[in-house]
Chains A and B, each alone.
Chain A
Amino acid sequence: DVKVTQSSRYLVKRTGEKVFLECVQDMDHENMFWYRQDPGLGLRLIYFSYDVKMKEKGDIPEGYSVSREKKERFSLILESASTNQTSMYLCASSLRATEKLFFGSGTQLSVL
Protein backbone atom coordinates (compact mmCIF):
# COMPACT_ATOMS: atom_id res chain seq x y z
CA ASP A 1 0.00 0.00 0.00
CA VAL A 2 1.00 3.59 -0.59
CA LYS A 3 2.43 5.31 2.42
CA VAL A 4 2.23 9.07 2.82
CA THR A 5 4.15 10.20 5.87
CA GLN A 6 3.85 13.58 7.52
CA SER A 7 6.80 14.40 9.73
CA SER A 8 4.88 15.69 12.75
CA ARG A 9 1.54 14.73 14.27
CA TYR A 10 1.35 17.83 16.46
CA LEU A 11 3.18 21.16 16.23
CA VAL A 12 2.96 24.25 18.42
CA LYS A 13 4.50 27.45 17.07
CA ARG A 14 4.49 31.11 17.93
CA THR A 15 3.08 33.93 15.83
CA GLY A 16 5.67 35.15 13.34
CA GLU A 17 7.70 31.95 13.28
CA LYS A 18 8.62 30.28 10.00
CA VAL A 19 7.07 26.81 9.92
CA PHE A 20 7.92 23.84 7.74
CA LEU A 21 5.54 20.91 7.30
CA GLU A 22 7.12 17.94 5.57
CA CYS A 23 5.47 15.17 3.59
CA VAL A 24 7.05 12.10 1.99
CA GLN A 25 5.42 9.47 -0.23
CA ASP A 26 7.01 6.15 -1.09
CA MET A 27 5.24 5.15 -4.32
CA ASP A 28 6.82 7.38 -6.96
CA HIS A 29 3.63 9.43 -7.37
CA GLU A 30 3.71 12.39 -9.72
CA ASN A 31 1.17 14.53 -7.93
CA MET A 32 1.26 15.82 -4.37
CA PHE A 33 -1.19 18.06 -2.55
CA TRP A 34 -1.51 20.09 0.64
CA TYR A 35 -4.95 20.54 2.16
CA ARG A 36 -6.17 22.35 5.21
CA GLN A 37 -9.00 20.83 7.26
CA ASP A 38 -11.18 22.98 9.51
CA PRO A 39 -14.41 21.96 11.27
CA GLY A 40 -17.43 22.91 9.23
CA LEU A 41 -15.31 23.84 6.20
CA GLY A 42 -14.14 20.44 5.02
CA LEU A 43 -10.85 20.13 3.12
CA ARG A 44 -9.54 23.08 1.17
CA LEU A 45 -6.65 22.85 -1.29
CA ILE A 46 -3.68 25.08 -0.51
CA TYR A 47 -1.16 24.04 -3.20
CA PHE A 48 -0.43 21.09 -5.40
CA SER A 49 2.53 19.90 -7.43
CA TYR A 50 2.45 17.75 -10.56
CA ASP A 51 6.21 17.33 -10.94
CA VAL A 52 9.50 18.17 -9.30
CA LYS A 53 9.92 21.95 -8.95
CA MET A 54 6.42 22.48 -10.38
CA LYS A 55 3.64 23.92 -8.25
CA GLU A 56 0.24 25.50 -8.66
CA LYS A 57 -1.94 27.46 -6.28
CA GLY A 58 -5.06 25.88 -4.90
CA ASP A 59 -8.05 27.66 -3.42
CA ILE A 60 -6.37 29.21 -0.36
CA PRO A 61 -2.64 29.80 -1.08
CA GLU A 62 -2.32 33.11 0.77
CA GLY A 63 0.23 32.96 3.58
CA TYR A 64 1.71 29.68 2.34
CA SER A 65 4.41 28.55 -0.05
CA VAL A 66 5.62 25.10 -1.07
CA SER A 67 8.76 23.36 -2.20
CA ARG A 68 9.26 20.18 -4.19
CA GLU A 69 12.93 19.52 -4.81
CA LYS A 70 12.56 15.73 -4.97
CA LYS A 71 9.70 13.67 -6.35
CA GLU A 72 8.92 11.97 -3.06
CA ARG A 73 8.94 15.07 -0.85
CA PHE A 74 6.56 18.04 -0.73
CA SER A 75 6.99 20.75 1.89
CA LEU A 76 4.50 23.35 3.03
CA ILE A 77 5.99 26.57 4.38
CA LEU A 78 4.34 29.20 6.51
CA GLU A 79 6.65 32.19 6.11
CA SER A 80 5.28 34.00 9.16
CA ALA A 81 2.77 31.93 11.09
CA SER A 82 -0.42 33.59 12.25
CA THR A 83 -3.12 32.41 14.64
CA ASN A 84 -5.61 31.97 11.80
CA GLN A 85 -3.33 29.28 10.39
CA THR A 86 -4.06 27.04 13.37
CA SER A 87 -5.53 23.99 11.66
CA MET A 88 -5.13 20.36 10.62
CA TYR A 89 -2.90 20.05 7.56
CA LEU A 90 -3.22 17.02 5.31
CA CYS A 91 -0.79 15.96 2.62
CA ALA A 92 -1.89 13.68 -0.21
CA SER A 93 -0.43 12.11 -3.33
CA SER A 94 -1.72 10.46 -6.48
CA LEU A 95 -0.05 8.56 -9.29
CA ARG A 96 -1.67 10.66 -11.99
CA ALA A 97 -3.95 13.69 -11.88
CA THR A 98 -7.09 11.59 -12.25
CA GLU A 99 -6.09 8.76 -9.93
CA LYS A 100 -7.33 8.55 -6.35
CA LEU A 101 -5.70 10.46 -3.53
CA PHE A 102 -3.75 8.81 -0.73
CA PHE A 103 -3.64 10.94 2.40
CA GLY A 104 -1.17 11.21 5.25
CA SER A 105 -2.39 11.16 8.86
CA GLY A 106 -2.23 14.92 9.19
CA THR A 107 -0.35 17.52 11.22
CA GLN A 108 -2.32 19.47 13.82
CA LEU A 109 -0.68 22.89 13.93
CA SER A 110 -1.38 25.33 16.72
CA VAL A 111 -0.10 28.90 16.37
CA LEU A 112 -0.07 30.82 19.65
Chain B
Amino acid sequence: GQQLNQSPQSMFIQEGEDVSMNCTSSSIFNTWLWYKQEPGEGPVLLIALYKAGELTSNGRLTAQFGITRKDSFLNISASIPSDVGIYFCAGQPSGGYQKVTFGTGTKLQVIP
Protein backbone atom coordinates (compact mmCIF):
# COMPACT_ATOMS: atom_id res chain seq x y z
CA GLY B 1 0.00 0.00 0.00
CA GLN B 2 0.97 3.59 -0.38
CA GLN B 3 2.36 5.81 2.35
CA LEU B 4 1.57 9.37 3.16
CA ASN B 5 4.42 11.85 3.35
CA GLN B 6 4.22 13.66 6.65
CA SER B 7 6.47 16.54 7.66
CA PRO B 8 8.33 17.44 9.66
CA GLN B 9 9.50 14.08 11.00
CA SER B 10 10.22 15.61 14.38
CA MET B 11 10.24 18.98 16.05
CA PHE B 12 11.41 20.53 19.29
CA ILE B 13 9.53 23.67 20.31
CA GLN B 14 9.30 25.97 23.29
CA GLU B 15 6.16 25.91 25.39
CA GLY B 16 3.76 28.56 24.12
CA GLU B 17 4.84 28.34 20.48
CA ASP B 18 2.50 27.40 17.67
CA VAL B 19 3.10 24.19 15.71
CA SER B 20 2.32 23.29 12.11
CA MET B 21 2.58 19.94 10.39
CA ASN B 22 1.29 18.59 7.12
CA CYS B 23 0.62 15.49 5.15
CA THR B 24 0.69 14.97 1.38
CA SER B 25 -0.39 12.16 -0.87
CA SER B 26 -0.28 11.26 -4.52
CA SER B 27 -3.87 9.98 -4.24
CA ILE B 28 -7.15 11.68 -3.49
CA PHE B 29 -8.85 10.99 -0.19
CA ASN B 30 -12.47 11.44 0.88
CA THR B 31 -11.60 11.64 4.57
CA TRP B 32 -8.58 12.94 6.44
CA LEU B 33 -7.92 11.99 10.04
CA TRP B 34 -5.44 13.20 12.63
CA TYR B 35 -4.35 10.97 15.53
CA LYS B 36 -2.10 11.59 18.52
CA GLN B 37 -0.06 8.88 20.20
CA GLU B 38 1.23 9.66 23.68
CA PRO B 39 4.24 7.75 25.02
CA GLY B 40 3.28 4.19 25.96
CA GLU B 41 -0.22 4.45 24.51
CA GLY B 42 -2.05 3.73 21.30
CA PRO B 43 -3.13 6.51 18.92
CA VAL B 44 -6.26 8.47 19.73
CA LEU B 45 -8.38 10.28 17.13
CA LEU B 46 -8.14 14.07 17.42
CA ILE B 47 -9.94 15.41 14.36
CA ALA B 48 -11.79 13.98 11.37
CA LEU B 49 -12.29 15.96 8.11
CA TYR B 50 -14.83 14.94 5.48
CA LYS B 51 -14.93 17.68 2.87
CA ALA B 52 -12.35 19.45 0.70
CA GLY B 53 -11.57 22.87 2.15
CA GLU B 54 -13.03 21.99 5.54
CA LEU B 55 -11.45 23.62 8.56
CA THR B 56 -12.16 21.99 11.92
CA SER B 57 -11.02 22.84 15.42
CA ASN B 58 -10.72 20.83 18.61
CA GLY B 59 -9.58 23.16 21.38
CA ARG B 60 -6.14 24.47 20.47
CA LEU B 61 -5.94 22.14 17.48
CA THR B 62 -7.07 23.14 14.00
CA ALA B 63 -6.95 20.87 10.97
CA GLN B 64 -7.71 21.53 7.33
CA PHE B 65 -8.70 19.27 4.44
CA GLY B 66 -6.75 20.51 1.43
CA ILE B 67 -8.62 21.77 -1.62
CA THR B 68 -6.88 19.26 -3.89
CA ARG B 69 -7.95 16.44 -1.51
CA LYS B 70 -4.34 15.28 -1.57
CA ASP B 71 -3.16 17.05 1.55
CA SER B 72 -4.07 18.04 5.07
CA PHE B 73 -2.63 20.32 7.73
CA LEU B 74 -2.66 20.35 11.53
CA ASN B 75 -1.90 23.38 13.65
CA ILE B 76 -1.49 23.47 17.42
CA SER B 77 -1.62 26.88 19.04
CA ALA B 78 0.14 27.87 22.26
CA SER B 79 1.74 24.47 22.85
CA ILE B 80 1.91 22.99 26.34
CA PRO B 81 4.01 20.10 27.70
CA SER B 82 1.15 17.59 27.42
CA ASP B 83 1.13 18.11 23.62
CA VAL B 84 4.18 15.83 23.51
CA GLY B 85 3.65 12.75 21.37
CA ILE B 86 3.59 11.45 17.82
CA TYR B 87 0.97 12.91 15.51
CA PHE B 88 -0.24 10.79 12.62
CA CYS B 89 -2.31 11.83 9.67
CA ALA B 90 -4.41 9.22 7.91
CA GLY B 91 -6.26 9.29 4.61
CA GLN B 92 -9.29 7.24 3.68
CA PRO B 93 -10.33 7.01 0.01
CA SER B 94 -13.75 5.48 0.61
CA GLY B 95 -15.20 2.46 2.35
CA GLY B 96 -14.05 1.15 5.67
CA TYR B 97 -11.01 1.58 7.88
CA GLN B 98 -9.23 -1.29 6.14
CA LYS B 99 -8.53 1.20 3.36
CA VAL B 100 -7.02 3.87 5.61
CA THR B 101 -3.40 4.82 4.94
CA PHE B 102 -1.41 6.29 7.82
CA GLY B 103 1.31 8.88 7.56
CA THR B 104 4.83 8.39 8.83
CA GLY B 105 4.25 10.51 11.93
CA THR B 106 5.55 13.78 13.40
CA LYS B 107 7.23 13.47 16.78
CA LEU B 108 6.64 16.58 18.86
CA GLN B 109 8.73 17.53 21.88
CA VAL B 110 7.79 20.58 23.96
CA ILE B 111 10.44 22.27 26.06
CA PRO B 112 8.92 23.83 29.21
Contact = CB atoms under 8 A, between A and B. Distances in A.
A binds B: yes
Interface of A: 4, 31, 33, 35, 40-45, 48, 50, 56, 58-59, 90, 92, 94, 96-101, 103-106
Contact of A98 (B3, B40, B45, B97): B97
B7 to A, nearest CB: 12
B88 A42 contact: yes
A111 B20 CA distance: 36
B6 A101 contact: no
A33 B98 contact: yes
> How many of chain B's residues touch chain A, expressed as a range?
20 to 34
B1 to A, nearest CB: 4
5 contacts: A33-B97, A45-B100, A90-B43, A105-B41, A105-B42
Nearest to B88: A42
A56 to B, nearest CB: 7
Contact of B44 (A33, A35, A41, A103): A103
Contact of A101 (B3, B9, B45): B45
B97 A97 contact: yes
B74 interface: no
Interface string B28-67: 0000010000001111110010000000000000000000
Contacts of B1: 44-45, 58-59
Interface in B52-88: 88
Contacts of A100: 33, 45, 48
B43 A43 contact: yes
Given A45-B1, A90-B42, A98 B96 contact: yes
Contact of A97 (B4, B40, B98, B104): B98
A40 B9 contact: yes
Given A90-B42, A103-B42, A103-B44, A44 B97 contact: no
Contacts of A41: 3, 104
A105 B42 CA distance: 4
B13 to A, nearest CB: 20
A92 B103 contact: no
A44 B95 CA distance: 17
